[in-house]
Amino acid sequence: MYTFGIDIGSTSSKAAIIRTGTELIRETVIPLGTGTIGPAQVRKAIFEEVDLQPESICYTIATGYGRLKCDYANEQISELSCHAKGIHFLMPTVHTVIDIGGQDAKALSIDDNGALVNFQMNDKCAAGTGRFLDVMAKVLNVDITDLGPLSLKSQHPAAISNTCTVFAESEVISQLSNDVSLEDIAAGIHYSVAKRVSGMALRIGRKADVAMSGGVALNVGVVCAMEKEMGCPILVHPLCQSAGAIGAAVLAWEKYIKEHQ
Amino acid sequence: MADIMQAIALLQNACANPKAQMNQYIAAGKSVVGCFPPYTPEELVYASGMIPMGLWGGQSELKLAKSYLPAFACPIMQSNMEFTLNGVYQKLSAVIIPTLCDTLRCMTQNWRFGVKEIPMIPLVYPQNRKSPASVDYLISEYEHVLVMLTTITGNMMTEKALSAAIDVYNEHNAVMREFSSIANQHLDVITPKIRHAVFKSAFFYDKKEHAAIVRELTEGLKQMPEFAFQGKKVVLTGILCEPDGVLDVFEENGVAVVADDLAQENRQIRTDTPTHGGGALKRLALQWNARHGCSMIHEDGKPRGPMLVKMCKDNHADGVVNCLMKFCDPEEYDQPYFEADLRQAGLLCLTVEIDTQNTSYEQIRTRVQTFCEMI
Amino acid sequence: MIEPALEQTKAAEAPAKPKRPKAKSMEMIGEQTKALFESAMLAKERGEKVGWSASIFPQELAETLGLVVLYPENHSAGIAARHQADPFLQECEGPLGYSNDLCAYAKVNLAYATVLAGDSEVELPDGGKMVRPDFLLLTNNICNQLTKWYENLAKQLNIPVFFIDTCYNPWDYVTETRVRYVRAQIDQLIHDLCEFVGKQWNEERFRQIMKVSQRNSYLWERANNLMDHKPAPLSGFELFNYMSCMVCNRGKESTTAILEQLNAEIEKHIADGTSTYPVKEEYRVSWDGIACWPYLRHNLHTLKEYGINMVASSYGKAWAIEYDDLDGMARAYCFASTNGDNATTMIDRRMEALKRFDCEGTIYHVNRSCKVMDCQMMEVQRQLSEQASVPFTSFDGDQADYRNYSEAQFETRIQGLVEVMKQNREAKQNG
């Protein structure tokens, strides 16, 4: 029996299908979020890819920013709970998850069953989120995908002290005009994000294993800087972007079993 | 049931349109005095034949206030300043501002120069309540307030009137406490939004009138069979929990408020003025000493945590929602301590940022929903 | 862990000028500071009780009892100035769970105290010289945040707070009702503190300490007032450095020696026509607010470019605490801090300074850590600017949190102020 999880985020839509709560059949990501054709597209795509009919799904859970608009879901659950479950599914030894997305950053503390125990969020301020990196990449005239690898080349990371994105931008421009190297500035930018997010994460404590998730987890520079700031190794699963959808599908199975007991 | 709904509607209307309330009293020949958060000696205003009304800010685009306050002043002060500069408060005869936090201290001066048409009465409460001398000092501050009220409005007060006012306020406290308790047996009727309206409306009424309405509401509830609420029960703590959008999120998630430690609500009514111990002014000053568990009143030992734990246990609450007013430093100092105490007692604590200027509640929705999923 | 360099990398600078020798008074300050921390460590070793105190607490009381007292605000400022604040800020806002919104002196100190309590592993860059206190001395004349900060310290370290509530003055004078209340608290505090530390109050010693304190207040104000000379004999920022003797050692004779030395040095400069200000003094300004400690160097550098010397600040009169008995002391401490006074008093004090020191502009530091100033300063500056016809500019900074500052903003704002001052000067010259 199959369950379906869909994570409708602000900038992307993710879907996952799981069999009997234990086997991940498929996960799919479409870079279009709530309010666009993204949610519909990802649903269509995933069923086509696995050659299944939507009718073979016994339970569906929607999560993410656009979860309330998903009319075919049996239930909607917050992305924090789903993410916790999803990461636990992918990496059962993980107890602390740090999710840095395009517009927010979250820290999750999860127990041995993948249940959420505590959480912290920064959802107000661009500093410490993907947005900060986007702004800085533009200033440096570097592609966002190149920013991470570039930062790793630095020997002397520049100091970007400001937490305000606008002020930090001005700092970066000032560094550029003082001929500080691109890699040093890039490293400084990554440290800035890492400091901000690690501070938030340490509020809920650091229990091994620690993993990162969300779009920014694919940035090796941020992961590296986070390892230094958190003072521990950080795991990144290649499917981490779909953790919310995967978790939703797992929770769907748990709910289904409970209802039919 | 019709009576209950009528009473609720009255109170909700008062909250939705406090100006209409003010106009009503003024039309009846009464002066209205604005009272800043968190605490003012409303009894003095009342005993002088006037109506005290609370100024707890509200939703407003900020423009004029920016000439007085930086971005990091709390939303209550920002909106109060904006409202008054826009003339919203123009019919007030005076305003009383207690200097209980740094921003409030500054507001006395901002108002003094920025709002010359509405006289400002500053009140500096004593913070060293262990010192017996603090009582006489507070009495003198109260007398200062009275002299200013008299000078501004021509209204005077008598000992008898103040004694009667104290009785009215103590009675009101008792009525509100009873309502809070009975409401928990009727959480189908008393939703978070309605509970809030019952408390907040007190700031826009003659307390005697408000007590009468709430008493009627409570009596009505008592007639109804007890409702077995199945959802999650929480205790709120903080300065206030607004706007209604936030309270709607609680309801959406099947969350009921069973008790609170909000400056705007329970903190107003949980401490009575002693009925013995001296003349009315002295007893009013002694009430200040009896206040407990508020971030803006100096106390040793960080007692808020144990107080909240007890509140949760007494009201069978699943956890606490910390309604953290944006930029409220007194509350920010207390936060780590009561969070730790609650955690240790096995109770969940969720912090949501309260910014009354906000019109979007997505972030609060996510947090509250997650909190419920965790309980 | 590779720490990112906290110093900004700079473009190649002009060859450094030979450094002038340190003034004797500065050496004496360094020694005095060292001695204070050493005496605290020794006191702890001897099993004596050491205290932490708010900066405008009546130090005469502790001094009379011969107690060693350290000052968290001053200590946090030092940490910030030496660029060591980061780990404490991270600790405070991270594991300790505090909001970023709080005063950075408090944030640094609360984290430091947590290390002393053994509940945190942040490395102490000064080896723990700010020893764990056995009691706290608190006044709230400066602000309300101090009260909450000390409530938390007391709980964390399980120690008593000896508190004098020095009420805010919304009037232009300190009411007798305040004086009575504060006096009663002082009397009680002396009794309680004596009992706690096991010492006896010595009236004669108190008179002696009062005398020394008054002399020091006089010398401090005198030194500050000598800046009215044109050109000013000192680079104004240096006076911020001397504040530590007034904050931490106001009742000591070592401070008398330092201030007498400082006064002498200043007078010598005046006599010789020299100054410690490194370039020609083009503009004289007043500085409103405490120093932006993490960025003093950048501040100075930028001001120097235009020949701007800070000749006045609100701190010159901060310890003009004159009295000759306990009642007088009660009144004086209510009035002492500019933050505890109403706007008219604040404006009067500043007007006096602007006139006396002949300032052409004001730089107002919007210190993110200091709501008690920032939430009324716009109105104060407006009135001052109008009354004194002196332009002002403000900049965003912080007394200890290095993350709240933009070099570009500071430079732009100062340049803007210079343009206005220049214009005003030309207009005046042209009649």
Place of tokens 């008219």: C344
> What integer best gives the mean pLDDT of chain C?
92
SS3 B213: helix
pLDDT at C8: 37
Give me B107's structure tokens. Answer: 């507001």
B367 → chain A, closest CA residue? A78
Gap between the Cα atoms of C92 and C262, Å rounded: 38
Q: How many CB atoms lie within 10 A of CB C5?
A: 14
What range defines the domain where residue C87 resides? 25-429
Contact in structure between C312 and C346 (CB atoms under 8 Å):
no
Give me B365's structure tokens. Answer: 């929705």
Shortest alpha-carbon distance between residue A105 and chain B (Å): 12
Kindly list the distances between the CA atom of residue B107 and the CA atoms of A11, B53, B68, B178, C273, in Å, as whole numbers in the listed order: 42, 18, 9, 35, 46
Kindly list the distances between the CA atom of residue A9 and the CA atoms of A27, A237, B309, C393, in Å, as whole numbers in the listed order: 15, 19, 37, 44
Residue B292: what residue type? H
Gap between the Cα atoms of C392 and C236, Å rounded: 17
Shortest alpha-carbon distance between residue C130 and chain B (Å): 22
Question: Neighbouring chains of B at 3+ CB pairs within 8 Å?
Answer: A, C
pLDDT at B372: 95
B351 → chain A, closest CA residue? A120
For range C96-123, the mean pLDDT: 97
Q: pLDDT confidence of C16, banded at 50, 70, 90?
A: low
Helices C86-93, A182-202: crossing angle, 10 deg rounding: 40
For chain A, the C-alpha Rg in angstroms (whole number) is 19
Do the domain assignments include residue C2? Answer: no
Closest by Cβ to C371, choosing from B73, B114, B340:
B73
Shortest alpha-carbon distance between residue C24 and chain B (Å): 40
Do the domain assignments include residue C7? Answer: no
Q: pLDDT confidence of C341, banded at 50, 70, 90?
A: confident
Query: C95 preceded by cis ω (within 30°)?
Result: no
Shortest alpha-carbon distance between residue C313 and chain B (Å): 20
Contact in structure between A87 and A110 (CB atoms under 8 Å):
yes
Q: pLDDT confidence of C319, banded at 50, 70, 90?
A: confident
Q: Which residues contact C325 (CB under 8 A, 6 or more apart)?
A: none
> C408 — contact with chain A (CB < 8 Å)?
yes
Does the beta-carbon distance from C407 to A174 stay under 8 Å?
Answer: yes
Which of chain A's residues have a Cβ under 8 Å away from the Cβ of C9? 156, 158, 175, 178, 180, 184
Q: pLDDT confidence of C320, banded at 50, 70, 90?
A: confident
> C11 — contact with chain A (CB < 8 Å)?
yes
Gap between the Cα atoms of C273 and B8, Å rounded: 79
Does the beta-carbon distance from A158 to C4 stay under 8 Å?
Answer: yes
Do the domain assignments include residue C254? Answer: yes
- pLDDT: which is higher, A161 or C127: C127
pLDDT digits (tens, 9 = 90+) for B257-267: 999 999 999 99
Does the beta-carbon distance from C95 to A205 stay under 8 Å?
Answer: yes
pLDDT at C386: 87
- Average the pLDDT over each of B190-204, C204-218, C304-318 and give the range with the smallest value: C304-318
Nearest to B354 by CA among B235, B263, B246: B246
Closest by Cβ to B370, choosing from A65, A78, A123:
A78
Residues facing A13 on adjacent strands: A8, A30
Sequential DSSP letters for C176-203: HHHHHHHHHHHHHHHHHHHHHHT----H
pLDDT at A104: 85
| H/E element, B263 | none
Do the domain assignments include residue C43? Answer: yes
Ranges assigned E (strand) in A128-250: 210-213, 234-236
In the sheet with C392-397, reading across from the earlier edge strand, the strands are C308-313, C283-288, C361-367, C392-397
Does the beta-carbon distance from A80 to B370 stay under 8 Å?
Answer: yes
B135 → chain C, closest CA residue? C181
Q: Which residues contact B366 (CB under 8 A, 6 or more apart)?
A: A78, A79, A80, A121, A123
Which of chain A's residues have a Cβ under 8 Å away from the Cβ of B363? 121, 123-124
pLDDT digits (tens, 9 = 90+) for C132-154: 999 999 999 999 999 999 999 99
For range C33-44, the mean pLDDT: 97
- pLDDT: which is higher, B151 or A102: B151
pLDDT digits (tens, 9 = 90+) for B95-139: 999 999 999 999 999 999 999 999 999 999 999 999 999 999 999
B363 → chain A, closest CA residue? A123
Residue C237: what residue type? F
B326 → chain C, closest CA residue? C101
Residue C50 has pLDDT above 50, yes or no: yes
For range A200-229, the mean pLDDT: 92
Q: Which residues contact C244 (CB under 8 A, 6 or more apart)?
A: C29, C32, C33, C74
Does the beta-carbon distance from A78 to B374 stay under 8 Å?
Answer: no
Residue C12 has pLDDT above 70, yes or no: no
**CB hemisphere CA count around C109 (13 angstroms):** 32
Residues of chain B with pLDDT > 70, as a percent, come to 100
> What integer best gives the mean pLDDT of chain A?
92
pLDDT digits (tens, 9 = 90+) for B37-96: 999 999 999 999 999 999 999 999 899 999 999 999 999 999 999 999 999 999 999 999
- What value of ipTM does the predicted structure carry? 0.97
Do the domain assignments include residue C184? Answer: yes
Give me C192's structure tokens. Answer: 């309680």
Place of tokens 């019709």: B2
Give me A118's structure tokens. Answer: 């505590």
Gap between the Cα atoms of A3 and A57, Å rounded: 5
Shortest alpha-carbon distance between residue C403 and chain A (Å): 4
Mutate to test the interface with C, among B80, B102, B113 (most CBs of C within 10 A): B102
Pairing of strands A234-236, A210-213: parallel
Q: pLDDT confidence of C1, banded at 50, 70, 90?
A: very low
pLDDT at C6: 36
Cβ within 8 Å of C, A 117-156? 156
Q: Which chain B residues have any C-beta within 8 angstroms of a chain A C-beta?
A: 353, 362-363, 366-367, 369-370, 373-374
Gap between the Cα atoms of B62 and B80, Å rounded: 10
Residue C80: what residue type? A
Please provide residue B259's backbone torsions phi and psi, each rounded to the nearest 5 degrees. Answer: -170, 165
Helical segments of C273-342, H only: 296-305, 326-336
Query: C398 preceded by cis ω (within 30°)?
Result: no
Residue B250 has pLDDT above 50, yes or no: yes
Do the domain assignments include residue C322? Answer: yes
Gap between the Cα atoms of B144 and B292, Å rounded: 25
Nearest to C183 by CA among C391, C329, C349: C329
pLDDT digits (tens, 9 = 90+) for A160-201: 988 788 888 989 999 999 999 999 999 999 999 999 899 889
Residue C5 has pLDDT above 50, yes or no: no
Gap between the Cα atoms of B318 and B338, Å rounded: 15
Nearest to A99 by CA among A108, A89, A90, A86: A108
Q: pLDDT confidence of C325, banded at 50, 70, 90?
A: confident
Gap between the Cα atoms of B351 and C169, Å rounded: 35
Tell me how many domains chain C contains.
Answer: 1
Q: Is B57 left (phi over 0), alpha (psi -120 to 50) or beta?
A: left
Give me C95's structure tokens. Answer: 């594991």
Which of chain C's residues have a Cβ under 8 Å away from the Cβ of A159? 4-8
Cβ within 8 Å of C, A 155-174? 156-159, 161-164, 167, 170-171, 173-174
Gap between the Cα atoms of C114 and C384, Å rounded: 42
Cβ within 8 Å of A, C 212-231? none
pLDDT at A181: 95
Length in residues, chain A: 261
Gap between the Cα atoms of B354 and B244, Å rounded: 11
Which of chain C's residues have a Cβ under 8 Å away from the Cβ of B128? 163-165, 185
Nearest to B366 by CA among A64, C132, A181, C112: A64
Q: Is B193 left (phi over 0), alpha (psi -120 to 50) or beta?
A: alpha
Contact in structure between A5 and A82 (CB atoms under 8 Å):
yes
Length in residues, chain C: 431
For chain B, the C-alpha Rg in angstroms (whole number) is 20
For range A138-142, the mean pLDDT: 93
The whole-angstrom distance between residue C96's C-alpha and the CA centroid of its chain comes to: 27
Give me A3's structure tokens. Answer: 């369950």
Kindly list the distances between the CA atom of residue B27 and the CA atoms of A109, B20, B88, B155, C287, in Å, as whole numbers in the listed order: 58, 10, 17, 17, 51
Does the beta-carbon distance from C379 to B334 stay under 8 Å?
Answer: no
Contact in structure between B344 and B285 (CB atoms under 8 Å):
no
pLDDT at C22: 87
Closest by Cβ to C6, choosing from A159, A173, A228:
A159
Shortest alpha-carbon distance between residue C101 and chain A (Å): 13
* DSSP type of residue C294: G
Contact in structure between C314 and C349 (CB atoms under 8 Å):
yes
For range C211-224, the mean pLDDT: 94
Does the beta-carbon distance from B333 to C185 stay under 8 Å?
Answer: no
Does the beta-carbon distance from C94 to A203 stay under 8 Å?
Answer: yes
Residue A68 has pLDDT above 90, yes or no: no
Pairing of strands B51-54, A96-100: unpaired
Nearest to B262 by CA among B128, B8, B76, B138: B76
Mutate to test the interface with B, among C99, C143, C171, C394 (most CBs of B within 10 A): C99
Does the beta-carbon distance from B109 to C165 stay under 8 Å?
Answer: no
> C151 — contact with chain B (CB < 8 Å)?
yes
pLDDT at C340: 84
pLDDT digits (tens, 9 = 90+) for C238-264: 998 899 999 999 999 999 999 999 999
SS3 C122: coil
Which of chain A's residues have a Cβ under 8 Å away from the Cβ of C402? 161
Does the beta-carbon distance from A202 to C9 stay under 8 Å?
Answer: no
Do the domain assignments include residue C15? Answer: no
Residue A138 has pLDDT above 90, yes or no: yes
Gap between the Cα atoms of A66 and A6, Å rounded: 10
Place of tokens 């939430």: C375
Residue ranges of domains in chain A, CATH in brackets? 2-91+240-259 (3.30.420.40), 105-236 (3.30.420.40)
User: How wide is the angle at C-alpha B209 spanned by C-alphas B206 and B215, nearest 5°?
Assistant: 135
Gap between the Cα atoms of C74 and C54, Å rounded: 9
SS3 B361: coil
Contact in structure between B91 and B26 (CB atoms under 8 Å):
yes
pLDDT at A101: 83
Tell me, yes or no, if the pTM score tops 0.90.
yes
pLDDT at A129: 87
For range C208-227, the mean pLDDT: 94
pLDDT at C18: 60
> C280 — contact with chain A (CB < 8 Å)?
no
Which of chain C's residues have a Cβ under 8 Å away from the Cβ of B133? 180-181, 183-185
Does the beta-carbon distance from C375 to B69 stay under 8 Å?
Answer: yes
Handedness of CA C212, C214, C219, C221 (dihedral sign): positive
Does the beta-carbon distance from C155 to B302 stay under 8 Å?
Answer: yes
Gap between the Cα atoms of A211 and B63, Å rounded: 44
Give me B184's structure tokens. Answer: 């928990």
Does the beta-carbon distance from C407 to A191 stay under 8 Å?
Answer: no
pLDDT digits (tens, 9 = 90+) for C383-431: 998 899 899 999 999 999 999 999 989 998 999 999 999 999 999 898 7
Nearest to B180 by CA among B256, B284, B287, B273: B256
Do the domain assignments include residue C12? Answer: no
pLDDT digits (tens, 9 = 90+) for A10-52: 889 999 999 999 999 999 999 999 899 999 999 999 999 998 8
